[in-house]
Chain A
Amino acid sequence: MIISVKNLVKRYGNLVALDHLSFDVEEGEILGLLGPNGSGKTTAINCILSLLKYDKGEIRIFGRPMRPDAYDIKRDIGVIMQNVAVFDELTVYENINYFCGLYIPEKEKRKRLVEEAIDFVGLNDFRRFYPKKLSGGLLRRLNIACGIAHKPKLILLDEPTVAVDPQSRNNILEGIQRLNREGATIVYTSHYMEEVEQICSRIIILDKGKVIANGTKEELKNMISLGEKITVETSAIHPEHLAALRRIPGADSVEYANGLLVVKSGKSKNNLENVLDFLKKQQIGYGRIYSELPTLNDVFLEITGKELRD
């Protein structure tokens, strides 16, 4: 076990940010911590790293208790915080070199590692740039390079893709998968479910400082009753039509609002054909039609009764 968190409680005054949080991180996995804003992801990461004092609980990393002065543990951890933290006074190269130097005192070895990190995030053309001159996406890449240059065994990333363009985002996500293939265990927090679905081998969903679901994305989706969701753009639906649609076997919920008809079916039911047949028979005109399988948002919605993102 790489990380073990047991009964972690963290309060800010009256607010309970982490409420008896417990989970483990296994070697070699990419664990996604998914949760809406304010659910306690950053707080959890900071407690794990001993950057924050917590009220209760036990945290072990690499099997040893984590403490502010557990320098031998820290040596093998790489951290990428939610806020970009680089020195404006240093160039891209110097920044990476500085942070790498806190871990790797040997000059020669460090030089090689810094070069690799620059390659890794694709900042070769910008090595002499000062952070102020970098675009948001490039800045995020620099932020990541600073955290991983020393080749840590465990990497914690706290929303590394916030406010990043799709191109840089893909670069970052691919990079994380590459680090994982090279042997690093990864903890990745995000409130973007698509990202978590894309790269994480296991997902923990947090809400109000509690674990509300834990498993692979297939397991999570199996937890809920929802199957297919069909959406039809149409303007000619009457209440009697809705009643008829609700009689289709397996159609659990039929709603109509703002010119959109939404038909949700139960687990492993396929009703697209039935719905189309019905529309044709009733001679109801329609525009676009699409059918979706459940997302993690639906999982979240079903468990908590609210949307993951507002």
Chain B
Amino acid sequence: MQVFKLCIKVLEKNKTAMLIYIFIFLVISVMISRLSVSKPQTGYADVKTDIAFLSEENTPLVNGLKQELSKSANFVTVADQTEALQDALYFRDVTYIVRIPKGFTERFLKGENVRIEKTTVPDSVYGAYLDMKINRYLTTAALYAKYGGGMPQKKLVSLLKSDLDQTASVTLKPEKVRSAETVESGGTGTTFTMYYFNYLAYVLPAVLIFGIGAIMQVFNNRDLSLRSFCSPITARNYNFQFLLANIVFCIVCWAILLIPCALLDPKHFFSRATSFLLLNSFAFLLSAGGLSYLIGNLVKNRSAISALSNVCSLGPSFIGGVFIPRLMLSDTVLKIASFTPTYWYVKANEQIEALGTFDFSNLASSYGCMAVEAGFAVAFLALGLTAGKKTRVAG
């Protein structure tokens, strides 16, 4: 295991710099998340937005939803005609239109896949908030419908209402509750854990690019590789040890970064929601590892690597929604950001956060994001391999 040990020694030589990254990250993430946990929700809840609620049927379930939304919205009456509705949106008489189609309740309670139609103005912060509310209402309702043993609709709605009131009361009176405890475990809401996982999108690439970059510097040195090629160690054994060292490094970094979160916010860390955050962060770890390998193969000097490790961790974090919420970023910025794994990582985190319950249909889109992250990992690795081969042959 000479080669493996060598990689570890190279990493040890560079550990101070990496520990500094991690330390700064911890300080920043703890500070920022303590400051901002749950704030956005309170902000939105205080200001009510104007929406149109059009329903083609009148059932307890629909009325319950309307009542739930009334906590965050004022209902404006708009004639149910395409032109009138468009005008209303255009002039911002309303920012959000909900339409419940006929037969919705019946089909919904049967567990069929039915959708509420919604129309919204672009870039609406409230729109996302209302989406979340509706989503939470319906996922919880679906849960009762599925496991409630066919209870009457009225009962279902009242149970639902008391459920949702519990969390709602928290957002309305945040000063009474300690911020990190606002939301019940497995539930929704922006927790410390949530922030922490988002910020991982900054620190993981920074540390991995730095560490793997340092290893690659050593291993892509032509004179040193020639010496290894002269020795009786087989190419397969050599590559295996090298790969193993890099994988171990990635996993150790990941684990080290997760421990503070588990210590600082154990209640949420060991919840069901976090297991999905963990899965997502693992997918992101793969892409960050792949990126580091690519950069390590392309860049030939130390200072360029540490510069790139800053650029590639900070840049995507700013445009991908880590430091600035995605809702506040323009479409163009987000479109650019979607070419980075960070965007998909944050998006998946938000989707996981927004879910009231976890069943497969709800998670499908966040699995999609994770798949995109893994796709990035594969692409980076493939590019890195090609670039690496080129340097070795050309040198």
- Enumerate chain A interface residues (CB-CB to B < 8 A): 46, 49, 51, 68-69, 71-72, 74-75, 77, 79, 81, 83-87, 89-90, 94, 98-99, 101-103, 146-147
Pairwise interchain contact A71-B218, C-beta atoms closer than 8 A: no
Q: Can you list 29 A-B pairs with a CB-CB distance of less than 8 A?
A: A51-B230, A69-B234, A69-B235, A71-B232, A74-B231, A74-B232, A77-B230, A79-B230, A81-B223, A81-B226, A81-B227, A83-B223, A86-B224, A87-B218, A89-B9, A89-B10, A90-B6, A90-B9, A98-B2, A98-B6, A99-B231, A102-B2, A102-B228, A102-B231, A102-B232, A103-B231, A103-B232, A146-B227, A147-B227
What is the count of residue pairs linking A and B with beta-carbon distances less than 8 angstroms? 56
Q: Which residues of B contact A90 (CB under 8 A)?
A: 6, 9
| Complex CA distance for A18 and B13, rounded to whole angstroms | 42
Q: Which residues of B contact A72 (CB under 8 A)?
A: 232
Pairwise interchain contact B6-A87, C-beta atoms closer than 8 A: yes
Q: Which residues of B contact A49 (CB under 8 A)?
A: 229-230
Smallest CB-CB separation from B231: which chain A residue? A102
Q: In the complex, given contacts A77-B230, A146-B227, what are 15 additional A-B residue pairs having Cβ atoms less than 8 angstroms apart?
A: A46-B226, A71-B233, A85-B221, A85-B227, A86-B224, A87-B224, A89-B218, A90-B9, A94-B9, A99-B227, A99-B231, A101-B2, A102-B233, A103-B231, A147-B227
Pairwise interchain contact B2-A71, C-beta atoms closer than 8 A: no
| Complex CA distance for A130 and B147, rounded to whole angstroms | 68
Q: Sorted from nearest, which 4 A-B pairs have the closest CB atoms?
A: A85-B223, A102-B231, A101-B2, A71-B232
- Enumerate chain B interface residues (CB-CB to A < 8 A): 2, 6, 9-10, 13, 218, 221, 223-224, 226-235
User: What is the predominant secondary structure among interface residues of chain A facing chain B?
Assistant: loop
Q: Write the nearest CB–CB distance from B97 to chain A, whole angstroms.
A: 63
**Most A C-beta atoms less than 10 A away, residue of B221, B229, B231:** B231
Smallest CB-CB separation from A46: which chain B residue? B226
Cβ-defined partner of B227 (8 Å) among A69, A71, A79: A79
Smallest CB-CB separation from B221: which chain A residue? A85
User: What is the predominant secondary structure among interface residues of chain B facing chain A?
Assistant: helix
Smallest CB-CB separation from B7: which chain A residue? A89
Q: Which residues of A contact B221 (CB under 8 A)?
A: 85
| Complex CA distance for A84 and B223, rounded to whole angstroms | 7
Q: Which residues of A contact B231 (CB under 8 A)?
A: 74, 99, 102-103
Q: Write the nearest CB–CB distance from B56 to chain A, whole angstroms.
A: 72
Smallest CB-CB separation from B2: which chain A residue? A101
Q: Write the nearest CB–CB distance from A142 to chain B, whole angstroms.
A: 13
The verdict on A71 contacting B226 (CB below 8 Å), with A89-B10, A98-B6 known, is: no
| Complex CA distance for A84 and B224, rounded to whole angstroms | 9
Cβ-defined partner of A51 (8 Å) among B13, B224, B226, B234: B226
Q: Which residues of A contact B232 (CB under 8 A)?
A: 71-72, 74-75, 102-103
| Complex CA distance for A46 and B235, rounded to whole angstroms | 18
Q: Which residues of A contact B10 (CB under 8 A)?
A: 87, 89
Cβ-defined partner of B229 (8 Å) among A51, A83, A94: A51
Q: Which residues of A contact B223 (CB under 8 A)?
A: 81, 83-85
| Complex CA distance for A131 and B2, rounded to whole angstroms | 19
Smallest CB-CB separation from A76: which chain B residue? B232
| Complex CA distance for A74 and B231, rounded to whole angstroms | 6
| Complex CA distance for A83 and B395, rounded to whole angstroms | 13
| Complex CA distance for A51 and B226, rounded to whole angstroms | 7
Q: Which residues of B contact A81 (CB under 8 A)?
A: 223, 226-227
Q: Which residues of A contact B235 (CB under 8 A)?
A: 69
